[in-house]
Structure formats: structure tokens, C-alpha cells
Amino acid sequence: MKSSGDGWVRICASDLPPGGIVGVTIGSEDMVVWRSMAGTPCVIEARCPHQWSHLAGEGVVVGEELVCLTHLWRFTTGGEGWKENVNGRRDRKGDLVVTDCIEEDGSIWVRIVG
Ligand code: FES
């Protein structure tokens, strides 16, 4: 079982559904927790690297990616940023920092290493 004494921080309940996105603050860092449609949880920095939209408000999950609705950059669960063009070509864009998380005891946790 996790506890805050060993650096683990509970950030939200495991009932975040596929496609769900929630904003969290850990220390002074704004992050979002999202779950891919296949069920993978992901903790990622909250601000789109393009023009700083907050992905808790401007993000939507499409398959295994978090898409910023402002200009449609998209991010994998590994944080890679892409832009998909009308013809389907995908171009690399800015990345987001991902914080490793685990799902245990009915919660999603991150470990803060100080
Ligand atoms: S602000 Fe996110 S794609 Fe432009």
C-alpha cells in the first residue's frame, strides 16, 4: 500500500473513465491526468507547448492520444507531440513531460523524488 511517507502522492481516484481528463496540481506544477481509450492512465504537464492552452479545459482524448483542441496538436501517453494534417501526414511538434504513475489501491499515484 502506498503512503505519502515514501514519496507517493495520490493524485486521483481510479474511477477516471477512458477518455477522462482531470486537472491536478502537485506542488507548484499544473498537470493533467488522463486515461486513454484503451485504459492507460497518464500524468502529463498541463500546458500545451504550442500556445499554452490548459489541457484540462482544451484537451480531448482520441484513442491513445490527448488532443489539444486549440490547434489540434496531439500527444501520446509518452508525451510525444504531433500535428496531423488534413491528408493524414503526421509532423513532430513539441513534447510534454510525462510523470510516471501507477494505479493501485483504487487510486492513481505519482512518486515525487525530492
Ligand atoms: S495551443 Fe495547443 S495546439 Fe495550439
Does the Cβ of 68 fall within 6 Å of ligand 1?
yes
Q: Is 70 in the pocket of ligand 1 (CB under 6 A)?
A: yes
**Would you say the CB of residue 53 lies under 6 angstroms from ligand 1?**
yes
Spatial distance between the Cα atoms of 34 and 40, rounded to a whole number of angstroms: 8
Backbone phi, psi, residue 57, to 5°: -100, -35
Residue 112: pLDDT over 70: yes
Helix (H) or strand (E) holding 111: strand 107-111
Instruction: State which amino acid sits at residue 90.
Output: R
Closest atom of ligand 1 to CA, residue 55: 2
Residue 52 gets the label, from left (phi > 0), alpha (psi -120 to 50) or beta, of: left
Please tell me the distance from the alpha carbon of residue 43 to that of residue 24, in angstroms, as a whole number. 9
Rounded mean pLDDT, 62-82: 98
Q: Which domains does the chain have, with CATH numbers?
A: 17-103 (2.102.10.10)
Task: Report whether residue 99 contacts ligand 1, using a CB cutoff of 6 Å.
Answer: no
36, amino acid identity = S
Flag whether pLDDT at 2 surpasses 70.
Answer: no
Nearest CA residue ID for atom 3, ligand 1: 71
Q: Looking at residue 82, what DSSP letter applies?
A: E
pTM comes to: 0.92
Q: Copy the grid coordinates of residue 85.
A: 494534417
- Residue 66: strand, helix, or coil: strand
d(CA 104, CA 112): 16
What average pLDDT does the structure give for the chain? 94
User: Does the pLDDT at position 19 exceed 90?
Assistant: yes
Q: Which residue's alpha carbon is at the smallest distance from atom 1 of ligand 1? A: 51
Q: Which of 32, 44, 51, 95 to mutate to test the pocket of ligand 1 (most atoms within 8 A of CB)?
A: 51
